[in-house]
Chain A
Amino acid sequence: ALVSVPLRRTRSIRTRLRADGLLNEFLKDHTPDMISRRYAQCFPSG
């Protein structure tokens, strides 16, 4: 009843986007508010 789960480490989403030169564009388009507004009509009421 004691279990060890090995954890792996990977480059974060931010690091990968930055390395690909996509971070600036991503952050411009993906502020939480912008996502909410874009998909507002898809959310269940409430």
Chain B
Amino acid sequence: TPSLRLGRISERIYNFMDAQFYGEISLGTPEQNFSVIFDTGSADLWVPSSYCVSEACANHRCFKAFKSTSFIHDGRRFGIHYGSGHLLGTMARDTLKIGGLTIPNQEFGESVYEPSEAFLSAKFDGVLGLAYQSLAEILGSPVFDNMIEQKIVDQPVFSFYLSRKSSHTRPAGELLLGGTNEALYIGPIKWHPVTAKGYWQIRMDSVAVQGVSLFCPVGCEAIVDTGTSLIAGPTSDIVRLQQLIGATPSHFGEFVVDCARLSSLPQVTFVLNGTEYTLTSEQYIRKERLGKNEICFSGFQAVDIISSKEPLWILGDVFLTEYYSIFDKEHDQVGLARA
């Protein structure tokens, strides 16, 4: 649902049906732990409230304001639309802890109503948004802005490493607040200036299939979004792209390809600021086991979002598992390097 905020039309992306990566934070004194999606496509922090009446909240850890000595009541209401429902709650302030860092007086939302059954089976309790403040539904500073304001981090930079592989001993990814982890990327970092400070939005020159530039031929806008699992683009382009990789729609509305044909599928290249970021079929196809069968799902999905009269592409986890991403708030730029 488009909404008018700060004199411009913006649309938030809240579709966590495909979200996979999450980490731990704590709120209050003493600490109450929550698992959250660290989402560069939104700017709010919310967790379920102990006063939540929805069935989804019963399956998750809920914030008990009455048990926190540092809790500050706000009382203003907030509502967030997301892909398959709506979230309602009240605002509050309390001490937030991420890793070893303490952020006092952080504004956040306590959701009291989560009508979507999608949250029933979600592994995460809430969402921590890392986009620009103009996307925030809740009034006040987003978490990372607060960290910068309070000089909690050395550099106003955070980085994501997302991996397809994980084990009991090795985490599937890393969010580094305050810098970059050189052990997790190879080669030079290419920087891309943010073109609109809402999402982490950058300019894309074109999208090529097997070296032939077919989409976004005169340039378009793309956002780098850790809260979106796939790579998304305008419906007309994505439908054609699915045809080119031989993907056919399933009755779930998802696109599947024949796993046996994987090695013969074309490469897809995203050209950003003159730099080519190529994904092979092994990288843009997601394999999932369904009973005895293995199904190969296309990593592309159609999402129609328009920013400044131009349709947006979303570079989600399918892209970010291949490229280490650095979000620089000081210089308003996104850095990408081979993960």
B196 contacts the other chain (CB 8 A): no
Q: Are A14 and B84 in contact (CB under 8 A)?
A: no
* Cα(A15)–Cα(B252), bound, Å: 12
Report the Cα distance A43→B16, complex, angstroms: 21
Residues of A within 8 A of B118 (CB): 13, 26, 30
Instruction: With both chains docked as a complex, state the minimum distance between the C-beta of A12 and any C-beta of chain B, in angstroms.
Output: 5
Q: Do A3 and B176 touch across chains, with their CB atoms under 8 A apart?
A: yes
Contact yes or no, A19 B290, CB < 8 A? yes
- Counting CB contacts under 8 A, is B38 at the interface? yes
State which size class the interface on B falls in.
35 or more
A23-B252, A36-B86, A44-B77 given as contacts; is B18 within 8 A of A5 (CB)? no
B252 contacts A4, C-beta separation under 8 Å: no
B95: Cβ under 8 A from any A Cβ: no
CB-defined interface of B171-183 with A at 8 Å, one 1/0 digit per residue? 1111111110100
Total A-B pairs in contact (CB under 8 Å)? 123
CB–CB B175/A5 < 8 A: yes
Do the beta carbons of A13 and B174 come within 8 Å of each other?
no
B117 close to A (CB within 8 Å)? yes
Answer yes or no: B122 CB below 8 A from chain A CBs: yes
* List of A residues within 8 angstroms of B181 by Cβ: 4
Q: Which residues of A contact B290 (CB under 8 A)?
A: 18-19
Asked if B19 lies at the interface with its beta carbon under 8 angstroms from chain A, I say: yes
Residues of A near B98 (CB, < 8 A) are 3, 5
User: 8 Å CB contacts to B: which residues of A2-36?
Assistant: 2-19, 23-24, 26-27, 30-32, 35-36
Query: Once the chains bind, are A17 and B21 in contact (CB under 8 Å)?
Result: no
Q: List the B side residues contacting A16 at CB < 8 Å.
A: 121
A6 touches B174 (CB 8 A): yes
Q: What is A's interface to B at a CB cutoff of 8 Å?
A: 1-19, 23-24, 26-27, 30-32, 35-36, 38-39, 42-44
- Report which B residues bind A (CB closer than 8 A): 16-24, 35, 38, 77, 79, 81, 83-86, 88, 98-101, 113, 115-118, 121-123, 152-154, 162-163, 166, 171-179, 181, 229, 251-253, 288, 290
